[in-house]
Structures are given as structure tokens and as C-alpha cells.
Amino acid sequence: MTNYIVVTGGVLSSLGKGITSASVAALLRNSNLNVSMLKIDPYINVDPGTMSPLEHGEVFVTADGGETDLDLGHYERFINATLSKRNNFTTGQVYQTVIERERRGDYLGKTIQVVPHITDEIIRRIKMAGKDADTLVVELGGTVGDIEGLPFYEAIRQLKHQLKSRVFNIHVTLVPYIAVADELKTKPTQHSVQELRRIGIAPDMLVLRSEKPIPKEMKRKLSDACDVEPNSVIEAIDAKSIYEMPLKFYDDGLLKPIAKAFDLGDLKPDLREWKRLVKRILEPSKEVIIAFVGKYLELKESYKSLIEALIHAGAHNDARIKLKWIDSEAFESQDEREVLGGCDAVLVPGGFGSRGIEGKIKAIKYARENGTVFLGICLGLQLALIEFARNVLGINNAASQEFDKGTKEPIIYLIDEFIDQSGDRQIRTRQSPMGGTMRLGEYECNLKAGTLLAKAYGGVEKIYERHRHRYEANGRYREAFENAGLIVSGEAKGLIEAIELRDHPWFAAVQFHPEFTSRLQDPNRAILAFIENALKSKSSA
């Protein structure tokens, strides 16, 4: 008997439906309820896996290898839970499933229509996502009135009709502030609710996004105009940190109407640890400067999980993480000491394609030669190997097959080649429609005892982290690397998963994406160690 909380948005996009949904789920989770979450994306892409980071932001990877919307990252970080492919679906997936069934003859020759076939598939997927939960929080992407969203709104209407009081609708809207008139305006919210009701959905709660506090009389006005109970008009004022929102929502009474609707009694979430960590985010006693050498800086959400993971590690170290954004392409022609000299650590994140690669290699070389704390992630590990091969081993033409298909020194090469040579076909890959294969999802990694990474993870022998990459480190060079002081600290099935420098304060790189498993209350150990050592290096300078 799952209860469903459906979060929709109106007026415009980027109002914070994802954070609202995650905050509601966090409050319920900390009230000892079994909560899960679902993101519905109305775009026609099957998943965001082939979309540019500059188009859609980060592609979040689930443990079971799903390439999903970045909001799933927020969900996992807020409710401290592991989600799966079934917690995100798109228009493309819905239509693909229905068309495949039609081709198999499952519909017995019937005419396939949006209602009931598409809406039935949407409802089936929603119920499947909520199967094992007390409450499923469903976020519907886009804005009410969008053409591509109409089948989903119809499905939500039908779900409410089927389950009655077990469905609770939250509508997030904008209450804009007009500076010239010095007024907050309610009309956009009223029109948004009118459009929602025209579709057949009546909101049970309004969450009002605003840059200024909303007066009580304005809340009462919206309550009357939108036919919503007065205590179900909740404000969402701009906050310094997204992690403040569950606390702000709780203080504004958000849980009370939900608890009443679902007959849950008086919910009292345990928010003591959450408050302690938020206080450290807002009022830290220390600060550390990280050089973030990336290539998708036009849209910072391309690195959303990594940014949040750094915040988590900072909170647990009582430190503010100050990022110095460095465009790797521009850095190729800049003076490295001038740009990196004032930074406490260097971070080279993942990415695809050849643009800006030499700038990243230049930053890695600086960190290696100057004893600067360094962490490389995915592509960052691959480039650390190439830099070491060129500048320490003397292999001047060391390269990756990703950037130089015909290289004679393939330090990095395609997964396909590794599988063909080793005969090990247990490695889970996904055939990419753009060509090649990709290693996706969670894999085990065996850590070498006594290494930086083993210490970071508390001395365990085996960890599980998530991957999203097409190329691997070439094991043929391993002996030469280790003889020269670059040791393999993590591996799995013969694949190089992590490396570090023997004679360096703290220099590590990993093939996996540690940021995908970091949560506010449980930061990833590799990133936590990176920040701890950056602070240590700063204090000893």
C-alpha cells in the first residue's frame, strides 16, 4: 500500500522541483519511513547518456549501470540510499516499450493510442518504482502545459483517480519579486494552478519559490485562489545551501499536511546530524582552495555530483571548499605557477573528447613535480598515466586511443581490445549507439594494503564504486610504471582501477567516479581523504 507524492512545476523551469522532492523525501526518511524516489523526464531521448554535458548537465550513473538524470544524484545524497534504473524513466523509454510490445503482437492487433496504452505504461512504471516503499516521491520534469508532458499529467490524473487519498500532489511555482514596484506577485502561481486544474489535477500543496519571504496575507490569498488549505502553502526562499531546504521546509510545517493526508500521525524527523553538517557548510572554521581543471565550465552542473561530494567532504572537515575554476583548454597557454600557485590541491575530473587534454596533463605535471595534493578521476587517471609515461618514462608519444587512434604507445585503449586479449567476458559493458562499448555502474575494486587509497577507505581490501567510461589503462605498461614509482593501488579482473605516487605527499587517481556514492551524511572516502590532505598540506605550508 504505497503512498505517492507527486511534485510538478509551473511558470518556468529550474525552480527547484528536484531539491523540493529530495527535501520532502529526506524529511520522511528521517521520520523512519521507507521512502524511495522517481524522476520522470518528458524528453524523447531514451536516456541522457548520449547528451552533451553542456546540453543537459551531468549524467548520473546508478549502481546497476543506469545513465540517468542528475536529479537522481540529489535523491541519493538527500535520502542516503542507493537507487536504480527503475527510479528514472523518459518519454523515449515509455514509447520504446509500447512500440516493442506492439511489434510482438502483445496488444492483439489493437490500435495503439496515448490513452490508454502510453498512460498505462507510465502508471505501470510509477507503481514499479514504488513497489517496496512506504512512500514514493515522484518528480515530473518540465513545466505544466508543456506539450511533451501532457501524457504524464494525464497518467498522474488517472493515478489519483485510482488510488484516491494515497496520492498527494505538490505544485512548485514562482512568486516573482518586481523590484520597481517593490512587490511580490501571485498571478503567475494562480495561472499555473489554473492550467494544472484544467488538465484535471488539483494541487494538495503549493511550494512557492521566491527570493523574499512571503507575507501571511499573501499565503491566505493563494490558499483561497488555488483551493489549497492555508497550512499547505509553503514558501521556498532562496538559501545559501541546498541542504538547508529540508530544515526550512520542516520549520514551515510541510510535513503536517502530508502526515494528515496519509494518516501518519505526528511525524518528528531526527534532524540533529543534518543540522550539524549544514552549520558546518554555512559557518566553517577553515577554508581550502581547490584548482578544478575542467572542460565543461560553461555549465557547472556538468560536474554536479563532484561539486556536492566536495561540499560533503568539506562539511565533515569543518572546511569551506573554495573552487578555482580553470578552463583546461585556456590553461594550455597560461603560466602554470601563476594559475595554480595559490591553490592547496589540484583536481582533474572526468570527461570525453580531446579538447583541453594538454591543459589537464600540464596541471597533473605541475602537481606531481611540486608536491601538490592531487586527485584524478576517470579521465584524470588516464591522463596521469600519460603524463608520467611522457615525462618520467620518456615515452614521448604516449597517448590514448581516444585521441589518437593510431598511436604506437597506447597507454590508454578501448575496453573491446582488453576483453579480446584477456578472454574475460564477465566485464559488464553497454554497446553504445555511437560506437564502442562503455563500462557502466558499480564494480568491485581490490585495494593494495598500505596504500593511500586503502588508508582512505579504512583499511578494507575491497570497495565498490561506479564507472562510466569507454577506455582503460593498458596493463602492458604496469611494470614500467611501478618500477619508476607510480604504483597500482587498486585493480579488478586485471584492470587498473587506481594509482598513486610513491614519493609524494598525496597524489592519487581513480578510474571510477567516487562522487556518485557520496552523500551529505556519508561522504565518499577517496574525496574525504583528498580534502583532509589538502587541509594538512595547507597547514604545514
Q: Which residues are catalytic?
A: 378, 513, 515
> Nearest-CA neighbor of 379 among 347, 409, 335?
347
Q: What is the number of alpha carbons within 13 Å of residue 218 lying toward its C-beta?
A: 19
Alpha carbon distance 320, 332 (integer Å): 28
Which distant-in-sequence residues (6+ apart) come within 8 Å of 141 by Cβ?
Answer: 17, 39, 40, 41, 42, 43, 69, 71, 149
Residue with cell 595559490: 342
Alpha carbon distance 309, 274 (integer Å): 15
Q: Specify whether the CB–CB gap between 210 and 174 falls below 8 A.
A: yes
Alpha carbon distance 190, 233 (integer Å): 13
- Under DSSP, is residue 299 helix (H, G, I), strand (E, B) or coil? coil
Q: Specify whether the CB–CB gap between 305 and 70 falls below 8 A.
A: yes
> Nearest-CA neighbor of 313 among 80, 531, 535, 508?
531
Question: Is 175 buried (19+), middle (13-18) or exposed (0-12) by CB count in 10 A?
Answer: buried
Which distant-in-sequence residues (6+ apart) come within 8 Å of 72 by Cβ?
Answer: 37, 39, 60, 62, 83, 87, 88
Question: Is 13 buried (19+), middle (13-18) or exposed (0-12) by CB count in 10 A?
Answer: exposed
> Nearest-CA neighbor of 123 among 83, 152, 150?
152
Alpha carbon distance 136, 166 (integer Å): 10
CA distances (Å), origin 345, targets 273, 284, 383: 28, 19, 17
For residue 36, what is the enclosing H or E element? strand 35-41
Which distant-in-sequence residues (6+ apart) come within 8 Å of 216 by Cβ?
Answer: none
Q: Specify whether the CB–CB gap between 70 and 306 falls below 8 A.
A: no
Alpha carbon distance 372, 4 (integer Å): 49
> Nearest-CA neighbor of 42 among 20, 13, 21?
13
Q: Specify whether the CB–CB gap between 377 and 350 falls below 8 A.
A: yes
| CA 26 distance to own-chain centroid | 16
Which distant-in-sequence residues (6+ apart) come within 8 Å of 343 by Cβ?
Answer: 289, 290, 291, 324, 372
> Nearest-CA neighbor of 68 among 297, 299, 305, 295?
305
Alpha carbon distance 186, 218 (integer Å): 8
